[in-house]
Amino acid sequence: MKDKIIEFIKENGPSLPVQVVSKIGGDSFIANAYLSELVDSKSLLQSSEKVGSVPLYYLAGQENLMEKKLKDLNFTVKTARTFQKKRVEETLELDAKRDDFNKRLKRIEAEESQRKDKKKSALEKARELIRRTVERPRVVEIPKVEVPVRVERPRVEFQPKVSKPVRPKIERPKDVKAPSFSKNALDFLEGLNVEVLKSEKIKDNSGAFIIRAPSSVGPLKFYVKLWSKKRLNKSDIAESYSLALEKKMPVIILTNGTVAKTTRKYLKEIGGFVRVRALK
């Protein structure tokens, strides 16, 4: 797929994502993921100026073609400087458009506020689920024990039997549990610039989250799988790859273990659909 994308842009010049998908076929989500990987690896370049909300993708040496295509695609876009010498005439139609714009702006602000509330609610639900499933460690206080003082008896002709003092059993504190792996994973996600949309089957050492994270082609959804295991093997990655195809989103594995050498080679073969991040 990556080779097809590069070959298409080499033949057709700087292109939009929708043009790439329409020519080489496939799912637009998968194509955008490949475009993002090619930009990250410097195999492709993307324009800083956008057409609508998306950039142009081009190869090194196609800069002049990219500039020309941007002018052709954006020929109807006018900036404030275009109108600085023109006097704006106040009309009823202009007032109506201004009112309509203000209403749409308020609606967008309200939707953004609701989105933030949903994000906060999703995080709170995840924390509450972890609190319910993970038992809090109990600290047992060691009771103070008074050791009896031995009193020396006066010497007599016979030696009476002296019973040894009975030492009370001292209950030692139970080991304090360390924070669960699922809680460490949630703390890690909260420290990143991502949005936690949903949590699934959260337990001490397993579960999953659906997150939204920024990328070079815009925000993308990722399926984050928690895997507490000493060493991930090829079958674990193959299972996650199948999950990525089923969910139609890349999978990120958060683990407290390591990845076998043969498994790393398999990760390169399947591209960026499955990524592994080890948590200390």
DSSP 35-77: HHHHHHTTSSEEEEEEETTEEEEE-TT-HHHHHHHHHHHTTT-
At 171 the pLDDT is 39
Q: Which of 42, 35, 40 is nearest to 60 (CA)?
A: 42
Contact between 1 and 26 under an 8 Å Cβ cutoff? The reply is yes
How buried is 16 (Cβ within 10 angstroms: 0-12 exposed, 13-18 middle, 19+ buried)? middle
- Domains of the chain, first to last: 2-81 (1.10.10.10), 116-132+179-278 (3.40.1350)
Q: How many other C-beta atoms can be found within 10 angstroms of the C-beta atom of residue 67?
A: 15
At 58 the pLDDT is 93
Cβ neighbours of residue 62 closer than 8 Å, sequence gap 6 or more: 9, 13, 14
Point out the residues of the chain with pLDDT beneath 70. Answer: 26, 75-89, 133-179
At 210 the pLDDT is 93
At 176 the pLDDT is 38
Q: Which of 49, 30, 47, 68 is nearest to 20 (CA)?
A: 30
Q: Which of 110, 129, 267 is nearest to 204 (CA)?
A: 129
At 45 the pLDDT is 92
pTM: 0.40
Contact between 273 and 242 under an 8 Å Cβ cutoff? The reply is no
Contact between 55 and 73 under an 8 Å Cβ cutoff? The reply is no
